[in-house]
Chains A and B, each alone.
Chain A
Amino acid sequence: MADKGNDPLALWQTMLGEMEKGFNAFASKAVSSPEFSKAMNQAGGASAGAQKQMSEMMEKYLGGLNMPTRAQMVDMAVRLQSIEAQLAEIKSLLMQPGAAAGAQSAGLPPSPRPPRTRRPPGEQT
């Protein structure tokens, strides 16, 4: 096996690791400055405002083309998800112990319910 000190691949990996550490440390210091916070938040604030305006414009434009807006598509998705949620609730009710017969008639396997008698390995007899 080659000595790690002479192995170019091991040297490359060490260098990469050191570069990562160094750059991360440098960046950590940079992002801790109040100037960074100010610049980031100015850019972020402007971007949020622009995003809101753009969204309002797109809504009007799509309305003009007689096409559904994002909000309307989201509404439809919400309704679909609500139906899925209700199906999940019904399935869960069918799978409750008291509803075992109903679950079996619906073709759903009942959840196995092992006894709650387990003890930690050190306490077992």
Chain B
Amino acid sequence: MNASAPFDQLASIPERIQTEVQRAIQRSIKGVEYFTTSGPTLGSTPKDVLSVRGTMSLYHYRPQADEIYRVPILIVMATTNRGYILDMVPGQSFIEFLLKRGYDVYMLDWAAPKPEEKGLRMEDYVLDFIPYCVRRVQEDSGEHDVTVIGYCFGGVLSLLYASIFHDGPMKNLICFTTPIDFREMTLFQNLSDRRYFDVDHLVDSIGNVPPEIIFSSFEMLRPASRAVSQVQLWENIWNDDYVKSYRMFDRWATDTLPLAGEYFRAITKDLMWDNKLYNGTMSVGGHRCDLAEIRVPILHAVAEHDHIVPYEAARHLIPKVGSTDKEEVILKGGHVSLVAGANAVRRLWPKLDSWLGGRST
């Protein structure tokens, strides 16, 4: 033990008090600034809109390298959230990272379905929107092959597409935090318990499922975290980087999308109740969705501390696909920090680049 340690502590007390007083003053100034300014601009990487069809938008990001890989990437975003989680701000944008590493990037993003789109079914997403976007990417890039990246439920849609169109143009498939065994989505299982949850009554009464229901379901997974994060924001409000990061993620997390009624009905009945994707009995529009039919190279990235898609719900993907070139990578982080923020910059993004580069020529 260092005998001088207590004296060092005593010597540091005035410095510590000074720092805390300065931070208290900064908190007051920055606290006012927080409410009088808007957050950082998100999703600003230059892009062109290739197509808009109701809830579906297809973007092409302008290349940022002098030479790009032959195979373009189509990112399929989760239907519950906005795609700008993958394009936060310069330096913390997955899209920008891919562009600078020489990839040609397209994104299938979703807007809130309108009341008249309440009839959109799983078939519309899997047999129409995704194949349509793949065709548009082929036309726009002039390439036959396409790599598909699906995030969360975008991964589920990509898997359904890949299992049906297994002879199609998909060259590689990358899934981020994609659930397969819906029995393991414990809170969602309980909320949609078929003994008490009348999905037909809900959808028939209100049409599209409002974002408040989706958002509060996510919040219920960690009910204390919002209050704690606000206390932490106040403690760190003197720190511009912390505030910027908080505002980015908070805005995205609260910007939840409604879900089309019929689509929600199918998710509840086929996946939450009957766990058909895991059981191998899933079909979309009469087409059987057998994961064993997927034979393209596949990478599945999962997060160690994912509270939305627990590892138990995601771990069956790699064993179930028919590919021989397949890999699961478990990285530190949560459902969102896996793909965005400082954690992703250090861990997932370089891993993805090293996996995909050689498979994109």
Contact surface of A with B, Cβ cutoff 8 Å = 1-3, 6, 9, 13, 16-17, 19-20, 23-24, 27-28, 31-34, 36-38, 40-42, 44-45, 48-49, 51-52, 71, 74, 77-78, 81, 84-85, 88-89, 91-92, 95-96, 111-123
Contact B201 A1 (CB under 8 A): no
A38 to B223, CA, bound (A): 19
Q: How many A-B residue pairs have CB under 8 A?
A: 143
Contact A112 B357 (CB under 8 A): no
* A-B contact list, 16 entries, CB within 8 Å: A3-B9, A24-B222, A24-B224, A31-B190, A34-B195, A37-B193, A38-B193, A41-B191, A45-B202, A52-B205, A71-B115, A89-B51, A114-B68, A118-B360, A118-B361, A119-B361
Q: Is B3 an interface residue (CB 8 A)?
A: no
Contact A45 B12 (CB under 8 A): no
Within 8 Å CB of A71, what residues of B? 115
Contact B68 A116 (CB under 8 A): yes
Given A19-B228, A114-B66, A45 contacting B198 (CB threshold 8 A)? yes
Encoded as 1 (CB less than 8 Å from any A CB) or 0, chain B from 104 to 120 comes to 10000000001110000
Which of B57-65, B89-97, B157-165, B331-339 is the interface stretch? B57-65
Q: Which residue of B lies closest to A34 (CB)?
A: B193
Kindly list the 8 A-B residue pairs having the minimum CB-CB distance in the complex, ordered from nearest: A120-B357, A23-B224, A85-B52, A41-B196, A88-B49, A116-B70, A37-B193, A48-B205
Q: Is B50 an interface residue (CB 8 A)?
A: yes
Within 8 Å CB of A6, what residues of B? 9
A92 to B47, CA, bound (A): 11
Contact A2 B116 (CB under 8 A): no
Q: Is B32 an interface residue (CB 8 A)?
A: no
Within 8 Å CB of B63, what residues of A? 112-114
Within 8 Å CB of B16, what residues of A? 2
A78 to B51, CA, bound (A): 16
Contact of B69 among A38, A40, A118 (CB under 8 A): A118
Contact A118 B52 (CB under 8 A): no
Q: Which residue of A lies closest to B207 (CB)?
A: A52
A24 to B218, CA, bound (A): 13
Q: Which of A6, A42, A113 has the most CB of B within 10 A?
A: A113
Encoded as 1 (CB less than 8 Å from any A CB) or 0, chain B from 166 to 209 comes to 00000000000000000000110011010111100110011000
Contact B143 A16 (CB under 8 A): no
Given A48-B201, A51-B206, A23 contacting B193 (CB threshold 8 A)? no
Within 8 Å CB of B70, what residues of A? 116-118
Contact of B196 among A1, A17, A42, A51 (CB under 8 A): A42
Contact of B231 among A16, A40, A117 (CB under 8 A): A16
Contact A37 B52 (CB under 8 A): no
Not counting A40-B191, A119-B361, a sample of 14 additional A-B residue pairs whose C-beta atoms are within 8 angstroms of each other reads A2-B9, A16-B232, A31-B187, A37-B197, A40-B196, A41-B196, A49-B205, A51-B206, A74-B115, A78-B116, A88-B49, A111-B48, A118-B68, A118-B102
A contact patch SS: helix
Q: Is B358 an interface residue (CB 8 A)?
A: yes
Contact of A114 among B67, B115, B201, B222 (CB under 8 A): B67
A9 to B20, CA, bound (A): 10
A51 to B228, CA, bound (A): 32
Give chain B nearest CB distance to A8 CB in angstroms: 10
Q: Is B44 an interface residue (CB 8 A)?
A: no
A40 to B187, CA, bound (A): 12
A4 to B102, CA, bound (A): 45
Contact of A123 among B193, B220, B358 (CB under 8 A): B358
Give chain B nearest CB distance to A40 CB in angstroms: 6
Given A16-B232, A36-B190, A92-B51, A115 contacting B67 (CB threshold 8 A)? yes
A48 to B62, CA, bound (A): 44
Contact A111 B361 (CB under 8 A): no
Contact B49 A92 (CB under 8 A): yes
Q: Is B225 an interface residue (CB 8 A)?
A: yes
A23 to B228, CA, bound (A): 11
A59 to B88, CA, bound (A): 40
A81 to B51, CA, bound (A): 12
Within 8 Å CB of A40, what residues of B? 191, 196
